[in-house]
Amino acid sequence: MSATAERGGSRPPDPEGHEGHEGHEGPDGPEGPAPAPAGRGELAVVALLLGLGAFLTHGTVTMTVPSTAGSPGPRFFPVIVIILTFSLAAALAVQILRRPRAAAPPPADAPAAGRPRTYTDWRAVGIVVAAFAAFIVLLTPAGWLLSAALLFWGVSYALDGKRPLFDTGVALAVSAAFQLAFSAGLGLDLPAGVLEGAF
Amino acid sequence: MDTVPLLLDGFGAALTPLNLLLLVTGALLGTAVGVLPGLGSAMAVALLLPVTFGLDPTGAFIMFAGVYYGGLFGDSTTGILLNTPGNSSAIAATIEGHRMARAGRAPQALATAAVGAFTGGLIATTLMVFFAPRLADWASLFGPAEYFALAAFAFAATATVVADSVVKGGIALAIGLALALVGVDPTSGAARFTLDQAPLFDGIAIVVITVGLLALGEVLHVASRIHREPQASRPALAGRPWLSRQDVRLAFPAWLRGTGFGVPFGVIPVGGSEVPTFLAYATEKRLDRRRKRPMFGRGAIQGVAGPEAAGNATAGSAMGALLALGLPTSATAAIMLAAFQQYGMQPGPLLFERNGDLVWALLASLFLGIGVLLLINLPFAPLWAKLLLIPRHYLYAGITVCCGLGVYATSASSFDLVLLLLIGLLGLMMRRYGLPLAPVLIAVILGPLAETELRRALAVGEGDVGVLFDSGIALGLYGLLVAGAVVAVAARLRRRRATAAAG
């Protein structure tokens, strides 16, 4: 019963398909910390922070400060944020590197045969991102109805929608419902695109 | 005391057919997102923010009031029935609640939770109505140094308490502050970190950041783990939620004790109701141990009553802190603050003078909101659990479409949609590595205020850092911060022990 008591521990995949009854871990809500995987993958966060710090430093150095600016000027606060960013990057790096490497290999990273290989399902994420990118590109030329339907279909496909053809119908219905609710109900104009004049 | 007539005026403004419709819609929506695991009222308000642009501010805030409390009413429902709490605030109530459900007392557990949420919300909202104007009077003494102290207090408190480590909270804070820096500096007019892109001169819209982090980030996170985690099982229950006299005798004091824990925590920015709910849980458990026949571990009704009341009491007094001080103490409150700013209002001492009508209508609608929520949750909680029957892929696909729609509806710019996608990926990364989201939101929203007030204070003091500590209020806030940190660390240790013992 104590296996899942520790918040932040990884949940082992359950082939039976039902949520474990003994723990009380919720799915990661917007305000709840996600289970932190052990290992060195977290160095990605350090890299992100270093990149952020470098970007802010570059922007601060090359900033055009108007001659009328008082003191402390527009560079003052960014410098504080830069210092904060670099010191936190260093602190996190130290934390990660001091953690014993073999202490807690997450089950999802060290899978048994037949289980997924990596912790993050990049294929599903990739499909969602691609669908959203396509939505952005197509929104103006193709119109809301088609691009939003494509977005809906893409996300539902990425999340294991099993009936692609049926889902096409659902996607078009959802997208049309949004368009109707918004143009008729709230008076917001969504781009009509190629279907301009069809309604 | 002129509070009562003002409040009655507020009820008058809130009780129009349209506003009631908005309130009920908000309450239904809030309960729905609360019930669904992973979605919270923060996300619901973020997605509604652009959509309500067409409404008048009063109507919009009345709807937000429904969503705000609705999320807290709904979040324990699935936790009790399926052991999948809708939100982190429901984890404490889930422990005993789910045991009650397994013992065949699911309807009683749901009723206890609903009445607990009602009690906590009602008491906290009443206290807030009478104390918020006083708090606002007091806050009108604030100058730049005090405002900076307040912002620093909010930053430090969220960053240290929300995350499992101070470093991670700090990282989230730094990311938020960096996002808030983009745009033209209002004090000097210098363009900062805009990469010469005209759409960035006004900064990154708060709607883009909140929708991206909370909603799109959640969708990406779910996608990233879709093949990694088991699906939740289906709910199965029946029965009527009537509490016996014995149940009420046990639950009633726990509701009050829970409220007692919740109210003070709403005013301190510790990122929401996790800490008070666990404090209430631990207290009920300790009191239960003194009984002849301890019920904890077998489905104790107090274990549901205390945390639920604490959770909603926190939300109630958090609204008071937001209105009177302009201080957001949770992610949802931070987004409500963004909503005020969207309508050109700044919560804080002046709000009661400048937008008094709206504030009192909002306060009145909070009361109406908890009443409506009790009505739609007490008898129908099992029906709400049927929401889990919506296939996951349609649910998240719909949320994604809402994200795109919401952001496009406010700005009609593809540039903002690109930013939304990038921030969504940031949200995925933060979830992936256990970085908390609340500090980012609070930093984005209070960052500009902190910067302006800090620079103003230092300009007045001509560079002397001492001006920041030159007032009793500022020193008091820093003192409170230190004291709060001590209490929070102690509470976290206790909570860890409580959950370890409960598991």
pLDDT tens track of chain B, all 503 residues?
578 888 888 888 888 898 899 999 889 988 888 887 767 777 778 877 777 777 788 888 888 888 888 888 888 887 888 777 767 778 888 888 888 888 878 888 888 999 999 999 999 999 988 888 888 888 778 888 888 888 888 888 777 766 667 889 899 999 999 999 999 998 888 899 998 888 899 889 888 898 898 889 989 988 988 776 655 444 445 556 677 888 888 888 999 998 988 888 777 665 567 778 888 888 888 888 888 778 887 888 888 999 999 988 988 888 888 888 888 877 788 888 888 888 888 888 888 888 888 888 888 988 999 999 998 888 877 777 777 778 888 988 988 998 888 888 777 888 999 999 999 999 999 988 888 888 898 898 888 889 999 999 998 888 788 888 888 888 888 887 788 777 767 766 776 676 666 64
Where on the phi/psi map is residue A121: left (φ > 0), alpha (ψ -120 to 50), or beta?
Answer: beta
CA distances from B342 to B68, B178, B278, B421 (A): 18, 21, 34, 22
User: Which DSSP category does B338 fall into?
Assistant: H
Tokens of B49: 């923010």
Question: In chain B, which residues have their Cβ closer than 8 Å to the Cβ of A145?
Answer: none
- Angle, CA B106 vertex, CA B100 and CA B112 arms, to 5°: 85
Strand partners, B191: B184
Q: Is B297 exposed, middle or buried (0-12, 13-18, 19+ CB in 10 A)?
A: middle
For B410-438, letters b (16+ CB in 10 Å) and e give bbeeeebbbbbbebbbbbbbbbbbbbbbb
Tokens of A104: 């807690």
Q: Is A16 exposed, middle or buried (0-12, 13-18, 19+ CB in 10 A)?
A: exposed
- The CA distance from B492 to B333, in Å, is 22
Inter-residue contact A74 to B190 (CB < 8 Å):
yes
- The CA distance from B71 to B27, in Å, is 8
- The CA distance from B312 to B363, in Å, is 15
CB atoms within 10 A of CB B228: 19
| Chain A interface includes B51 (CB < 8 A) | yes
pLDDT at residue A88 greater than cutoff 80: yes
CA distances from B377 to A93, B253, B363 (A): 47, 21, 21
- The CA distance from A138 to B353, in Å, is 47
Cβ A33–B434 below 8 Å, yes or no? yes
The residue assigned the tokens 């004291």 is B483
**Dihedral, CA atoms, B374, B379, B382, B383, nearest 10 degrees?**
-90
Indicate the SS3 state at residue B191. Answer: strand
Q: Where are the alpha helices (DSSP H) in chain A?
A: 43-61, 76-98, 122-142, 144-158, 164-180
Q: What's the pLDDT at B247?
A: 86
Indicate the SS3 state at residue B479. Answer: helix
Between B372 and A119, the more confident residue is B372
Q: How many CB pairs under 8 A join A and B?
A: 317
Q: Is B249 exposed, middle or buried (0-12, 13-18, 19+ CB in 10 A)?
A: exposed
| Nearest chain B residue to A188, by CA | B409
Indicate the SS3 state at residue B60. Answer: helix
- Nearest alpha carbon to residue B374 among B118, B66, B107: B118
Cβ B404–A135 below 8 Å, yes or no? yes
CB atoms within 10 A of CB B13: 17
User: Which DSSP category does B355 fall into?
Assistant: T
- Nearest alpha carbon to residue B152 among B313, B286, B269: B269
Question: In chain B, which residues have their Cβ closer than 8 Å to the Cβ of A131?
Answer: 400
| Chain A interface includes B37 (CB < 8 A) | yes
> Predicted confidence band at A26 (pLDDT cuts at 50, 70, 90)?
very low
pLDDT at residue A125 greater than cutoff 90: yes
- The model's pLDDT over A149-192, given as tens digits with 9 standing for 90+, comes to 999 999 999 988 888 899 999 999 999 888 887 776 666 677 77
Crossing angle for the helix pair B41-51 and B57-82, nearest 10 degrees? Answer: 150
- Angle, CA B211 vertex, CA B205 and CA B214 arms, to 5°: 130
Crossing angle for the helix pair B274-289 and B472-502, nearest 10 degrees? Answer: 50
CA distances from B99 to B105, B171, B449, B500 (A): 9, 37, 46, 16
pLDDT at residue A23 greater than cutoff 70: no
- Nearest alpha carbon to residue B409 among B417, B419, B398: B417
Mutate to test the interface with B, among A6, A24, A117, A139 (most CBs of B within 10 A): A24
Cβ B401–A175 below 8 Å, yes or no? yes
pLDDT at residue A10 greater than cutoff 80: no
Question: In chain B, which residues have their Cβ closer than 8 Å to the Cβ of A66?
Answer: 188-190
Q: What's the pLDDT at A5?
A: 35
- The CA distance from B335 to B435, in Å, is 19
| Chain A interface includes B326 (CB < 8 A) | no
Nearest to A45 among B83, B433, B458 (CB): B433
Nearest to B85 among A1, A26, A55 (CB): A26
- Nearest alpha carbon to residue B367 among B43, B27, B21, B42: B27
Mutate to test the interface with A, among B432, B437, B458, B499 (most CBs of A within 10 A): B432
- Residue B482's Cα: distance from chain center in Å? 23
Cβ B83–A81 below 8 Å, yes or no? no
Q: What's the pLDDT at A116?
A: 43
Inter-residue contact B369 to A120 (CB < 8 Å):
no
Q: What is the DSSP string of A83-110?
A: HHHHHHHHHHHHHHHHS-TTS---TTTS
The B residues from 441 to 470 touching A (CB cutoff 8 Å) are 451, 454-455, 458-459, 463
Question: In chain A, which residues have their Cβ closer than 8 Å to the Cβ of B41?
Answer: none
Q: What's the pLDDT at B237?
A: 53
Indicate the SS3 state at residue B184. Answer: strand
Q: What's the pLDDT at A120?
A: 78
For A147-160, letters b (16+ CB in 10 Å) and e give bbbbbbbbbbbbbe
Q: What's the pLDDT at A82?
A: 96
Looking at beta carbons, which pairs linking A162-168 to residues 24 or more positions away fall under 8 Å?
A167/B393
Indicate the SS3 state at residue B192. Answer: strand
Between B162 and A49, the more confident residue is A49
Question: In chain A, which residues have their Cβ closer than 8 Å to the Cβ of B169?
Answer: none
Residue B356 CB partners (closer than 8 Å, separation 6+) = B6
Question: In chain A, which residues have their Cβ closer than 8 Å to the Cβ of B164?
Answer: 7-8, 33, 36
Tokens of B433: 């590595």
Strand partners, B183: B192
pLDDT at residue A25 greater than cutoff 60: no
- The model's pLDDT over B111-153, given as tens digits with 9 standing for 90+, comes to 899 999 999 999 999 998 888 888 888 877 888 888 888 888 8
Asked whether the bond before A72 is cis by omega within 30 degrees of 0, the reply is yes
Question: In chain B, which residues have their Cβ closer than 8 Å to the Cβ of A133?
Answer: 421
Q: What's the pLDDT at A15?
A: 36
Cβ B397–A68 below 8 Å, yes or no? no
User: Which DSSP category does A185 fall into?
Assistant: I
Q: What's the pLDDT at A3?
A: 35
Between A84 and B324, the more confident residue is A84
- The CA distance from A132 to B417, in Å, is 9
pLDDT at residue A36 greater than cutoff 70: no
Indicate the SS3 state at residue B461. Answer: coil
CB atoms within 10 A of CB B405: 24
Inter-residue contact B35 to B74 (CB < 8 Å):
yes
Q: Is B242 exposed, middle or buried (0-12, 13-18, 19+ CB in 10 A)?
A: exposed
- The CA distance from B291 to B484, in Å, is 32
Q: What's the pLDDT at A185?
A: 62
Residue A5 CB partners (closer than 8 Å, separation 6+) = A23, B499, B500, B502, B503
- Angle, CA B161 vertex, CA B155 and CA B164 arms, to 5°: 120
Largest CA distance in chain A: 68
Q: Is B486 exposed, middle or buried (0-12, 13-18, 19+ CB in 10 A)?
A: exposed
- The CA distance from B230 to A14, in Å, is 6
